[in-house]
Amino acid sequence: MSFIRNILNSRTPEDGNFFLQLKEILGFKPKTKSFYIKAFTHRSMNIKDELGNAVNYERLEFVGDAMLSAVIAAYLFEKVPHGDEGYLTKMRSKVVSREHLNKLGEELNLISLVQSRIPVSNFGNNIHGNLFEALVGAIYLDKGYNVCEKFIYRSVINPHVDIETLEGKVISYKSLLIEWCQKEKNTFEFQVYEDTGNDELKHFSVKLSINNKIVSKARATSKKKAEEKASKRAFFAFQNQITGLH
Protein backbone atom coordinates (compact mmCIF):
# COMPACT_ATOMS: atom_id res chain seq x y z
CA MET A 1 0.00 0.00 0.00
CA SER A 2 2.80 2.39 0.84
CA PHE A 3 4.13 1.78 -2.66
CA ILE A 4 0.91 3.02 -4.21
CA ARG A 5 0.73 5.91 -1.80
CA ASN A 6 4.20 7.03 -2.75
CA ILE A 7 3.44 6.93 -6.43
CA LEU A 8 0.27 8.93 -6.09
CA ASN A 9 1.26 11.16 -3.23
CA SER A 10 -2.22 10.76 -1.80
CA ARG A 11 -3.49 10.02 1.67
CA THR A 12 -4.98 6.63 2.35
CA PRO A 13 -7.25 5.48 5.17
CA GLU A 14 -4.27 3.57 6.62
CA ASP A 15 -2.56 6.90 6.92
CA GLY A 16 -3.85 8.74 10.00
CA ASN A 17 -3.86 11.99 8.01
CA PHE A 18 -6.71 10.77 5.82
CA PHE A 19 -9.30 11.14 8.56
CA LEU A 20 -7.68 14.27 9.94
CA GLN A 21 -7.94 15.98 6.54
CA LEU A 22 -11.45 14.59 6.04
CA LYS A 23 -12.66 15.88 9.40
CA GLU A 24 -11.51 19.34 8.44
CA ILE A 25 -13.45 19.18 5.18
CA LEU A 26 -16.57 17.78 6.84
CA GLY A 27 -16.67 19.95 9.91
CA PHE A 28 -17.68 16.90 11.97
CA LYS A 29 -16.31 13.50 12.93
CA PRO A 30 -17.38 10.62 10.65
CA LYS A 31 -19.33 7.83 12.35
CA THR A 32 -19.12 4.96 9.84
CA LYS A 33 -15.69 5.33 8.28
CA SER A 34 -16.29 2.76 5.53
CA PHE A 35 -18.61 5.16 3.63
CA TYR A 36 -15.80 7.71 3.35
CA ILE A 37 -13.17 5.14 2.45
CA LYS A 38 -15.50 4.06 -0.37
CA ALA A 39 -16.04 7.69 -1.39
CA PHE A 40 -12.32 8.00 -2.08
CA THR A 41 -11.65 4.60 -3.64
CA HIS A 42 -11.17 4.67 -7.40
CA ARG A 43 -12.38 1.70 -9.47
CA SER A 44 -8.77 0.97 -10.46
CA MET A 45 -8.21 -0.37 -6.92
CA ASN A 46 -10.45 -3.24 -8.03
CA ILE A 47 -11.83 -3.91 -4.55
CA LYS A 48 -14.89 -6.17 -4.11
CA ASP A 49 -17.09 -6.67 -1.08
CA GLU A 50 -18.02 -10.10 0.28
CA LEU A 51 -20.84 -10.38 -2.28
CA GLY A 52 -18.54 -9.62 -5.17
CA ASN A 53 -19.85 -6.08 -5.67
CA ALA A 54 -17.36 -3.40 -6.66
CA VAL A 55 -16.27 -1.06 -3.87
CA ASN A 56 -15.57 2.40 -5.28
CA TYR A 57 -17.10 5.83 -5.25
CA GLU A 58 -19.22 5.58 -8.40
CA ARG A 59 -22.47 4.39 -6.81
CA LEU A 60 -22.12 7.01 -4.07
CA GLU A 61 -22.22 9.70 -6.77
CA PHE A 62 -25.81 8.64 -7.49
CA VAL A 63 -26.83 9.27 -3.88
CA GLY A 64 -24.85 12.51 -3.61
CA ASP A 65 -26.30 13.89 -6.82
CA ALA A 66 -29.83 13.19 -5.54
CA MET A 67 -29.16 14.86 -2.18
CA LEU A 68 -27.62 17.93 -3.82
CA SER A 69 -30.67 18.24 -6.08
CA ALA A 70 -33.05 17.92 -3.14
CA VAL A 71 -31.32 20.43 -0.87
CA ILE A 72 -30.84 22.99 -3.66
CA ALA A 73 -34.49 22.54 -4.73
CA ALA A 74 -35.79 23.32 -1.24
CA TYR A 75 -33.42 26.29 -0.97
CA LEU A 76 -34.47 27.79 -4.32
CA PHE A 77 -38.15 27.20 -3.60
CA GLU A 78 -37.83 29.50 -0.61
CA LYS A 79 -35.42 32.06 -2.04
CA VAL A 80 -36.99 32.52 -5.47
CA PRO A 81 -40.70 32.82 -4.71
CA HIS A 82 -41.47 34.34 -8.11
CA GLY A 83 -39.88 31.55 -10.13
CA ASP A 84 -42.02 28.86 -11.66
CA GLU A 85 -41.03 25.19 -11.90
CA GLY A 86 -39.13 25.62 -15.16
CA TYR A 87 -37.25 28.65 -13.87
CA LEU A 88 -36.30 26.89 -10.62
CA THR A 89 -35.11 23.84 -12.57
CA LYS A 90 -32.90 26.05 -14.74
CA MET A 91 -31.44 27.78 -11.70
CA ARG A 92 -30.73 24.47 -10.00
CA SER A 93 -28.94 23.10 -13.04
CA LYS A 94 -26.59 26.10 -12.90
CA VAL A 95 -25.74 25.32 -9.26
CA VAL A 96 -25.15 21.60 -9.82
CA SER A 97 -23.52 21.96 -13.24
CA ARG A 98 -20.58 19.65 -13.93
CA GLU A 99 -18.34 22.72 -14.13
CA HIS A 100 -19.47 24.05 -10.75
CA LEU A 101 -19.17 20.67 -9.00
CA ASN A 102 -15.67 20.24 -10.42
CA LYS A 103 -14.73 23.61 -8.98
CA LEU A 104 -16.13 22.66 -5.57
CA GLY A 105 -14.27 19.35 -5.48
CA GLU A 106 -11.06 21.00 -6.61
CA GLU A 107 -11.25 23.72 -3.97
CA LEU A 108 -11.56 21.07 -1.26
CA ASN A 109 -8.61 19.24 -2.83
CA LEU A 110 -10.56 15.99 -2.63
CA ILE A 111 -8.26 14.38 -5.16
CA SER A 112 -5.47 14.31 -2.57
CA LEU A 113 -7.53 11.72 -0.65
CA VAL A 114 -8.14 9.33 -3.55
CA GLN A 115 -6.84 5.79 -3.51
CA SER A 116 -6.11 4.71 -7.05
CA ARG A 117 -3.72 2.59 -9.05
CA ILE A 118 -3.82 5.17 -11.84
CA PRO A 119 -1.85 8.35 -11.18
CA VAL A 120 -4.24 11.21 -10.41
CA SER A 121 -2.64 13.26 -13.16
CA ASN A 122 -4.27 10.83 -15.62
CA PHE A 123 -7.78 11.68 -14.47
CA GLY A 124 -9.88 14.12 -16.41
CA ASN A 125 -11.32 17.20 -14.77
CA ASN A 126 -14.61 15.52 -13.87
CA ILE A 127 -13.03 13.52 -11.08
CA HIS A 128 -13.27 16.61 -8.86
CA GLY A 129 -17.04 16.84 -9.22
CA ASN A 130 -17.49 13.09 -9.02
CA LEU A 131 -15.61 12.95 -5.72
CA PHE A 132 -17.65 15.86 -4.41
CA GLU A 133 -20.90 14.06 -5.25
CA ALA A 134 -19.60 10.82 -3.72
CA LEU A 135 -18.60 12.64 -0.54
CA VAL A 136 -22.09 14.15 -0.24
CA GLY A 137 -23.53 10.64 -0.71
CA ALA A 138 -21.26 9.25 2.02
CA ILE A 139 -22.31 12.02 4.42
CA TYR A 140 -25.99 11.26 3.80
CA LEU A 141 -25.49 7.54 4.44
CA ASP A 142 -23.34 8.16 7.49
CA LYS A 143 -25.23 10.96 9.22
CA GLY A 144 -28.60 11.41 7.52
CA TYR A 145 -30.27 14.22 5.64
CA ASN A 146 -29.93 17.05 8.14
CA VAL A 147 -26.15 16.81 8.48
CA CYS A 148 -25.87 16.35 4.72
CA GLU A 149 -27.98 19.47 4.18
CA LYS A 150 -25.80 21.42 6.60
CA PHE A 151 -22.68 20.34 4.69
CA ILE A 152 -24.24 21.45 1.40
CA TYR A 153 -25.07 24.86 2.90
CA ARG A 154 -21.55 25.18 4.29
CA SER A 155 -19.72 24.07 1.16
CA VAL A 156 -22.04 25.04 -1.70
CA ILE A 157 -24.87 27.43 -0.88
CA ASN A 158 -23.31 29.88 1.58
CA PRO A 159 -20.01 30.46 -0.22
CA HIS A 160 -21.11 30.01 -3.83
CA VAL A 161 -24.80 30.55 -4.46
CA ASP A 162 -25.87 34.07 -5.09
CA ILE A 163 -29.46 34.30 -6.23
CA GLU A 164 -28.98 37.56 -8.12
CA THR A 165 -25.99 36.18 -9.99
CA LEU A 166 -27.99 33.07 -10.85
CA GLU A 167 -30.83 35.24 -12.05
CA GLY A 168 -28.49 36.69 -14.64
CA LYS A 169 -26.81 39.56 -12.83
CA VAL A 170 -29.81 41.85 -13.04
CA ILE A 171 -28.73 45.11 -11.44
CA SER A 172 -31.84 47.19 -11.86
CA TYR A 173 -35.28 45.90 -12.72
CA LYS A 174 -36.39 49.49 -13.20
CA SER A 175 -33.92 50.01 -16.04
CA LEU A 176 -34.89 46.69 -17.64
CA LEU A 177 -38.54 47.64 -17.46
CA ILE A 178 -38.00 51.10 -18.90
CA GLU A 179 -35.88 49.65 -21.70
CA TRP A 180 -38.69 47.25 -22.52
CA CYS A 181 -41.41 49.93 -22.41
CA GLN A 182 -39.43 52.18 -24.75
CA LYS A 183 -38.79 49.40 -27.17
CA GLU A 184 -42.45 48.33 -27.19
CA LYS A 185 -43.71 51.93 -27.29
CA ASN A 186 -45.57 51.47 -24.01
CA THR A 187 -46.09 54.46 -21.78
CA PHE A 188 -45.14 54.03 -18.16
CA GLU A 189 -45.51 56.02 -14.97
CA PHE A 190 -44.32 55.63 -11.38
CA GLN A 191 -46.68 57.33 -8.91
CA VAL A 192 -44.82 57.69 -5.63
CA TYR A 193 -46.24 59.09 -2.40
CA GLU A 194 -45.09 59.19 1.19
CA ASP A 195 -46.97 56.69 3.24
CA THR A 196 -46.00 56.18 6.87
CA GLY A 197 -48.92 53.91 7.55
CA ASN A 198 -48.67 52.42 11.03
CA ASP A 199 -44.86 52.18 10.86
CA GLU A 200 -42.42 54.31 12.80
CA LEU A 201 -40.18 54.57 9.76
CA LYS A 202 -41.08 56.80 6.87
CA HIS A 203 -42.32 54.69 3.95
CA PHE A 204 -42.96 55.29 0.30
CA SER A 205 -45.63 53.66 -1.73
CA VAL A 206 -45.51 53.42 -5.46
CA LYS A 207 -47.95 52.48 -8.18
CA LEU A 208 -46.48 51.52 -11.53
CA SER A 209 -48.73 52.02 -14.53
CA ILE A 210 -48.03 50.78 -18.02
CA ASN A 211 -50.27 52.19 -20.75
CA ASN A 212 -52.30 53.88 -18.01
CA LYS A 213 -53.09 50.58 -16.29
CA ILE A 214 -51.70 49.88 -12.82
CA VAL A 215 -49.55 46.75 -13.15
CA SER A 216 -47.83 46.65 -9.77
CA LYS A 217 -47.61 48.28 -6.37
CA ALA A 218 -44.86 48.31 -3.79
CA ARG A 219 -43.87 49.89 -0.51
CA ALA A 220 -40.39 50.46 0.91
CA THR A 221 -38.30 52.80 3.07
CA SER A 222 -37.04 54.85 0.14
CA LYS A 223 -38.49 56.10 -3.12
CA LYS A 224 -35.78 54.31 -5.07
CA LYS A 225 -36.34 50.98 -3.30
CA ALA A 226 -40.10 51.20 -3.77
CA GLU A 227 -39.70 51.88 -7.49
CA GLU A 228 -37.25 49.00 -7.84
CA LYS A 229 -39.61 46.66 -5.98
CA ALA A 230 -42.56 47.65 -8.14
CA SER A 231 -40.41 47.25 -11.26
CA LYS A 232 -39.31 43.78 -10.16
CA ARG A 233 -42.93 42.72 -9.67
CA ALA A 234 -43.91 44.06 -13.05
CA PHE A 235 -40.82 42.45 -14.55
CA PHE A 236 -41.84 39.01 -13.39
CA ALA A 237 -45.44 39.59 -14.39
CA PHE A 238 -44.28 40.39 -17.94
CA GLN A 239 -41.26 38.09 -17.79
CA ASN A 240 -41.79 36.24 -21.03
CA GLN A 241 -42.31 39.39 -23.04
CA ILE A 242 -39.42 41.24 -21.43
CA THR A 243 -36.80 38.52 -21.60
CA GLY A 244 -37.44 38.40 -25.31
CA LEU A 245 -35.27 41.54 -25.32
CA HIS A 246 -32.05 39.79 -24.39
Listed residue (83, 68, 63) closest to 153, CA to CA:
68
Q: List the one residue from 45, 47, 66, 178 that touches a second copy (CB under 8 A).
A: 66
Give min distance, CB of 66 to a second copy, in A: 4
Q: List the one residue from 11, 38, 203, 233 that touches a second copy (CB under 8 A).
A: 233
Catalytic residue selected from 24, 50, 78, 133:
133
* Alpha-carbon span 177 to 219, nearest angstrom: 18
Residue 143 as a binder of a second copy (CB under 8 A): the answer is: no
Residue 77 as a binder of a second copy (CB under 8 A): the answer is: yes
Query: 24 to 63, contacts with a second copy by CB under 8 A?
Result: 49, 51-54, 58-63
Which part of the chain contacts a second copy (CB under 8 A), choosing from 22-30, 121-129, 137-145, 205-213?
Answer: 137-145
CA contacts within 13 A on the Cβ side of 152: 28
Q: Is 244 helix (H, G, I), strand (E, B) or coil?
A: coil
Helices 145-152 and 126-143: crossing angle in degrees, nearest 10, is: 140
84 catalytic per annotation = no
Q: List the one residue from 4, 25, 45, 70 that touches a second copy (CB under 8 A).
A: 70
Residue 141 as a binder of a second copy (CB under 8 A): the answer is: yes
List the alpha helices (DSSP H) in the chain: 2-8, 16-26, 33-39, 58-79, 85-95, 98-107, 126-143, 145-152, 158-160, 163-166, 173-183, 223-237, 239-243
Residue 149 as a binder of a second copy (CB under 8 A): the answer is: yes
Residue 96 as a binder of a second copy (CB under 8 A): the answer is: no
DSSP 8-state class, residue 216: E
* Alpha-carbon span 92 to 96, nearest angstrom: 6
Residue 97 as a binder of a second copy (CB under 8 A): the answer is: no
195 catalytic per annotation = no
Residues found near a second copy in the complex (CB under 8 A):
49, 51-54, 58-63, 65-67, 69-70, 73-74, 77, 81-85, 88-89, 137, 140-141, 144-146, 149, 216, 233, 236-237
